[in-house]
Amino acid sequence: MADDKSPCIWTNKPGHFGRLQVYNYLDNRMIQGDVVMTGREHFNKIMSRTSNQSGFWHGAPFGENVDCMYDYFGTEPNHNALGTALGDCCHWVMPEAHGMWQHMEGVQMFNSLHNEGGVFAECEDVRDVERFPWPDVKYCDFTESEKAVDETIRQGKAVLSGTWACFFHNVADFFGMENYFIKMYTDPAVVEAVTERVVDFYLQINEKWFDIIGDRMDAIFFGNDFGSQLDLLISPDMFDKFVLPYFKKITSQAKTRGYKVMLHSCGAIESVIPRLIDAGVDGLHPIQAKARNMEAATLARKYGKDIVFMGGVDTQDLLPFGTPQQVNDEVMRLRELLGPNFIVSPSHEAMPNTPPRNMEAMARAAAKGLSR
C-alpha cells in the first residue's frame, strides 16, 4: 500500500481495482466473424491487416510508476501480469532485459564509453576498429528469455522479441552523438566499419535466439530512435547511406524466418516511413503524437494501407495530465482514424506522473467492441 512518501499518489488501497480485468483473452475470447480468437491470433490478424477490431498493448511504464500500476490493478509485480489485466494482445520479451549478457568477468556488452567522447571519438583508421575487443555471442544466454516467452504464450498473447538491436544509438555512443554525425562526412569508412561490427553482432544474437525460439515468436521488435520532436536527426541522404543498409539486414533476417517486423522509432520520422515500409517494416511504434507530421490523421491518410501503427496515445500531455474521459475520447478518435488494423498504445512509455486511472481509461476504450 502507498504511504505518504510514496510516488503512488493515486492508490487508496492495494489492489483496489479489485483484480477486475479490463479484457482477458483467456477468459473472454474475442470474436472475429465466426472465429473465437486468442490475443496472439488477434495480433497476427492485425499485422496481416485482416482484423475487424483494433488491439491493445500497455507498453512498458517507467520505474516507480509501474509499481503504482501493479498496486492499482492488483496484479503480480511483472509486466506480463499487468498486461493480462489490461487486455494486451501481445507481450515484449527483450533478451537483454532477461539476463542475456552473461560475461564471466562482468564486461559490458558494448563497452563504448572508455573516454568522454566515446572509444572512437578520435579514430581515423579502420584498423583501430578491427583491433577493438568486440563482444562474442558465446556470452549470450537465453534461459530466462525462453521462460518469459513460454509464459507469454500461456497467457494467450503474441510474442514480440529479438534483440533490441539499437545500432544507431550504439554507434553514437562509440563516437559521441555530435561527433558521430560529423564523422559521417569526415571519416565515413570508420563510421561504416563500426556500424558493420555492431549490426553483425546483433545479427549473430538473433540467429542464435531464433534457432531456439522458432515459431513461438510472432514478430521481431527492435528500436532505433531516428527522430527529434521536429525532424530526423540526420539528413535523408545520410540515413540512406549510414542507417538503411544495416537496418535492412535486420529486417531481412527476420523476414527469412517468417516473422513480422515491428519497429520502435521515436520522434518526427514521417519523411522516412516510405523507406521503412520498403525495407520490410510491418508495424511502427510508438507514433509520437506531438512530433511534427506524426498526427494520426496524416499517417492514416498516407500510410494506413501499407503499415500497422501501434501507439499514438499521447504521453507528453494527455496521459499524465488529462482526464479519463479525455483519454477515452482520444482513443476512440484514433480508432476511428486508424481503423481495425491498429494497436492502441501509449505514444511512448508512460511517464512516472501518469495516473493509473488514465491507463485504465485507455485500456477500457481500446477494449470497447471486444465481446464473447
- Between CA 205 and CA 261, with CA 151 as vertex, the angle to 5 degrees is 45
Residue 32 falls inside a structural domain: no
Angstrom distance (rounded) from CA 16 to CA 89? 24
The pTM for the full model equals 0.92
Residue 332 falls inside a structural domain: yes
Angstrom distance (rounded) from CA 262 to CA 339? 18
- Between CA 52 and CA 57, with CA 56 as vertex, the angle to 5 degrees is 150
Provide the domain limits for residue 194: 39-367
342-346 vs 35-37, strand pairing mode: unpaired
Residue 8 falls inside a structural domain: no
Residue 101 falls inside a structural domain: yes
Strand partners, 262: 221, 283
Task: Read off the CATH number of the domain in which 80 is found.
Answer: 3.20.20.210
Could you write out the DSSP letters of every residue in 343-367? EEEESSSPPTT--HHHHHHHHHHHH
The radius of gyration computed from the CA coordinates of the chain, to the nearest angstrom, equals 21
| Three cell numbers, residue 225 | 530512435
Residue 167 falls inside a structural domain: yes
Cα-Cα-Cα-Cα dihedral of 346, 349, 350, 352, to 10°? -170
Residue 6 falls inside a structural domain: no
Domain count, the chain: 1
pLDDT tens for the chain, residues 1 to 372: 333 334 454 443 333 334 445 666 655 455 455 456 899 999 999 999 999 999 999 998 877 788 889 999 999 999 999 999 999 999 999 999 999 999 999 999 998 665 567 999 999 999 999 999 999 999 999 999 999 999 999 999 999 999 999 999 999 999 999 999 999 999 999 999 999 999 999 999 999 999 999 999 999 999 999 999 999 999 999 999 999 999 999 999 999 999 999 999 999 999 999 999 999 999 999 999 999 999 999 999 999 999 999 999 999 999 999 999 999 999 999 999 999 999 999 999 888 889 999 999 999 999 998 754
| Three cell numbers, residue 190 | 570508420
| Three cell numbers, residue 360 | 485504465
Could you write out the DSSP letters of every residue in 17-39? TTT--S--TTTS-EEETTEEE-H
Sequence letter at residue 200: D
Angstrom distance (rounded) from CA 228 to CA 293? 12
Locate the DSSP E strands across 24-167. 30-32, 35-37, 55-56, 90-92, 158-161
Count other Cβ atoms within 10 Å, centred on residue 244: 16
| Three cell numbers, residue 10 | 493515486
Cα→Cα distances 112→49, 100, 120, 173, 192, Å: 40, 19, 8, 6, 16
Rounded to the nearest 10 degrees, the angle between the axes of helix 63-73 and helix 356-367 is: 60
| Three cell numbers, residue 70 | 501493479
Strand partners, 30: 37
Residue 1 falls inside a structural domain: no
Residue 110 falls inside a structural domain: yes
